[in-house]
Amino acid sequence: MLAEVCSVAFALTNMLDSTLRTIALTTKGFMPEAEGDALFVAARSACEALPGLPMVEVGSYCGRSTVWLGAVAREWGTVLHAVDHHGGSEENQAGWEWHDPEIVNTQGRIDTLPFFRQTMQRAGLSDVVRECVGDSHSIGAAWREPLALCFVDGGHARAVARGDYEAWAQHVAIDGLLVIHDVFEDPADGGQAPFEEIYLPALHSGRFVERSRSGSLRVLQRTSR
């Protein structure tokens, strides 16, 4: 009985605030609730291990996962840099499976930035979430600050995923976390780019070890340079 009570207490203290949870789950996006909770726990762990270091999210879309991460940034007195060109990934374009006509602007182009900003305003996280609008590979190449956590959830084309790994994994501090979304070992479950171009290279590099998994979310910890 005591173990069950402790387990429930742990779960309750490691969940997003109910108001923010509602905002996250009503925001356009592809992050399942359980994986969002796992991301939240990972971010807390990273900020506890490396207090003061910022976090980065590669691929914000309309801000659904950003709410989970931004809440942790506020709790720990740090910032989250949200990196996205906001023009939609390949799979979001017209004619593809994940296209949403509601995010197409009056010029006929995908533009998720207004939706993202609205989400941050609704969640009251605009002060701790820093917009980095542009190409993630270019931004990552110019980056100079070590990170407590880097969450990669960008485009799923192979070149894009590989570029995100090459641009950002190096910036994760020792004991920091590299979190990867949409990792599917079985091709029948989903695209292979995050698995083959980010997850496997990180493990094979010898610099990261897997710490946890939830659905398609993988949490890797950096252990060496």
In the set 81, 156, 171, 181, the catalytic residue is 156
pLDDT of amino acid 216? 97
Give the position of tokens 């993202």.
116
- Which domains, from first to last, does the chain contain? 2-222 (3.40.50.150)
- Reading the block at residue 17, the tokens are 């605030």
Alpha-carbon distance values, 153 to 8, 10, 105 (Å) = 30, 27, 23
Using only C-alpha atoms, what is the Rg of the chain? Answer: 17
Angle between helices 18-25 and 113-123 (to 10 degrees): 160
CA–CA dist 112, 165 (Å, integer): 23
- Tell me which amino acid residue 162 is: R
Residue-by-residue pLDDT tens, the chain, 225 positions: 433 333 333 344 578 999 999 999 999 998 999 999 999 999 999 999 999 999 999 999 999 999 999 999 999 999 999 999 998 666 665 655 656 667 787 777 879 999 999 999 999 999 999 999 999 999 999 999 999 999 999 988 999 999 999 999 999 999 999 999 999 999 999 889 999 999 999 999 999 999 999 999 999 999 998
Known catalytic membership, residue 181: no
54-111 pLDDT, tens digit per residue, is: 999 999 999 999 999 999 999 999 999 999 999 866 666 565 565 666 778 777 787 9
pTM for this model (two decimals): 0.90
Regarding beta strands 129-133 and 172-180, do their DSSP bridges make them parallel or antiparallel, or are they unpaired? unpaired
pLDDT of amino acid 9? 35
pLDDT of amino acid 89? 66
- Reading the block at residue 90, the tokens are 């390949």
Across-strand partners of 133? Answer: 84
CA–CA dist 149, 176 (Å, integer): 6
pLDDT of amino acid 225? 86
